Structures are given as structure tokens and as C-alpha cells.
Amino acid sequence: MSLTPDTFAWVADVVRRRSAIQLELGKEYLVESRLLPLARAAGLADVDTFVRSVRSAPHPTAVEAVVEALTTNETSWFRDAQPFTALADHVVPDLLAARGPFGVGPLRIWSAACSSGQEPYSIAMVLADLVPPTGMRIVATDLSQQMVDRARTGRYSQLEVNRGLPAPMLVKHFTRAGAEWQVAEPLRQAITFQKHNLLEAPPLGGPFDVVFLRNVLIYFDLATKRDVLRRVQQVVRPGGYLLLGAAETTIGIDDGWERVPVGRSSVYRLTARRAA
């Protein structure tokens, strides 16, 4: 059964107000596929009936479940590859060189919208070859408490580890846990998971040397993109880096970032003018 226009309009409005993500017309199939499991779990026949029940008695937990269902994205290990190559080959060496031989504490990285945790654990695996375990602190955040709780466990199915995780990394950083794979303790200790909404003040744990904000800005309108980037600037160290998705840029949106080509991709460095 297809969604009614009224159902779609209500869901799109709730998601926009809670997360700033824009669900445009044509995304009805996405809404239906994401909310159908919630409808069935509630013993209801279809999404329209489920949404009517939520609207008639809008309990915060039910509304939050709707928002989380529509804002949880697919993810994989070392997704798109290039940002992780740039992190290892350019970003971390540049940051370490700027610190000098005595350093100034661990590298601090924020993985925003981390979903089920593959991105921050991928970051930790890259850093593990460049700095000691005590040389990194990663803050990983997501709008969904369910995703945060899931990521914190560091456990993944065989199907999940098959999605982009190189075999040498699996052998080096995971152990068997029944039918699942468990991320090694040193990597888990290096990461702090928090529930966080990008529309709110930045999370604790900064200032950060690097921020991963990948495949998130594409869902926001221009004003929200500028607002989010402004907040990120508040918690990035002078000379710190921002890594975005392949289809995202700060150019024409926020001039506080300098585009730095690295191989076939680009990273963005906080400009001296803004960092001062």
C-alpha cells in the first residue's frame, strides 16, 4: 500500500524539524521501507496506520523511533577508501610534523554521524599504524541512540565484516565472538560513543584535529550546511582538517576552509584567518 500524501508530509516535517534532513517528494518509497518494520512491530498492517497511531498520541519515544528510522544510513568499512588514504598519507603526517618531536597529547578526531560504528573503527585501524594506542582519542556520534549503543559493542556479523574490511585488518584487529567478530580492546578503548544532533552544540571531547563529516551535508539545505560547518569550526584546532563525502564541499558555502587536494580526493583545512 502506497503512502498517502498526508502521511508523507507529516513524516517529512518531523524529520526536518528534528534533524534538518530534507525528505523531498519522490522519497515515499524510502519512508515506507524504513517505517514498515516499526508498523509490523506495533502489530499494524501498514505505515499509514502506524503513522496515524503515532500522530493521535505522539509519545516522544515513538516519534524518536520514526526520526531514527529515517536518519540511519548504510555504512561500510573504509567507505569510499580515498578519505582514509588521505588521512594516512597526508593529514596525520602533517599534524604530527606540526606538533614537533614532543607532541601535545593524543590526536583527537570526531567521527560525526557514525551510524553503526564502521567509520570510527576504520579511523582507529588507520591510526593504529601511525601512533601508539595512547596517541589517539576518537569521539564518534550519531543521532540514533540505537546506533550509538550498537557501535559501542564493537560486534559485527560475518556479512558486515565482508563489506569492505580487508582480511589483514580483520586478522589484526578482530577476534571471534561466537558467530560474530569483536573489535580488539585497544581500538574500542580509543573511541567514545555519544548520542548527538548536529543541530546542537558540538560534543564533548575537543578540540579536534580532524573531523569526519561524510555524506551528511548532502541532506541539508544551504542555511543548515552553513550552520553545521560554523559549529564544527568552533571545535577544530588551528590547522585542523575536515573530511567530507565525495559529493560534498565547503566551496561556496563556508570560506573558513581551504581545499587541499590529496591524490584523487580533497580534504579541507581550517584557514589561518578563521583559526586565529
57: Cα separation from own chain's centroid: 31
DSSP state of 83: H
- Clarify whether residues 227 and 125 are in a common domain: yes
Residue of 12 and 71 predicted with greater confidence:
12
- How far apart CA 90 and CA 69 sit, in angstroms, is 36
Q: Considering 28, 52, 71, which residue would you say is the last residue of a domain?
A: 71
- Clarify whether residues 37 and 87 are in a common domain: no
Put the strands of the sheet holding 180-183 in their side by side order.
Answer: 155-157, 180-183, 174-177
Q: Give 44-67 pLDDT, tens digit per residue.
A: 888 999 988 888 877 778 888 888
Q: How many domains does the chain have?
A: 2
Q: Contact, 73 vs 58, CB < 8 A?
A: no
Q: Considering 52, 71, 90, which residue would you say is the last residue of a domain?
A: 71
**In the prediction, which pLDDT does 276 show?**
45
- How far apart CA 79 and CA 122 sit, in angstroms, is 9
The answer to the question of residue 77 being in a domain is: no
- How far apart CA 241 and CA 230 sit, in angstroms, is 14
- Clarify whether residues 96 and 230 are in a common domain: yes
- Clarify whether residues 130 and 265 are in a common domain: yes
The answer to the question of residue 92 being in a domain is: yes
- Clarify whether residues 61 and 131 are in a common domain: no
Domain housing 51? 5-71
- Whether residue 1 is predicted with pLDDT greater than 60 in this model: the reply is no
Q: Give 87-100 pLDDT, tens digit per residue.
A: 999 999 999 998 86
Residue of 131 and 62 predicted with greater confidence:
131
Stretch among 19-23, 210-214, 233-237, 265-269 having the lowest mean pLDDT: 19-23
**In the prediction, which pLDDT does 242 show?**
98
CATH of residue 29's domain is 1.10.155.10
- Clarify whether residues 106 and 14 are in a common domain: no
- Clarify whether residues 117 and 56 are in a common domain: no
CATH of residue 155's domain is 3.40.50.150
Return the percentage of the chain with pLDDT > 90, whole number.
Answer: 57
Q: Considering 22, 52, 71, which residue would you say is the last residue of a domain?
A: 71
Q: Which of 60, 65, 71, 58 is nearest to 27 (CA)?
A: 71
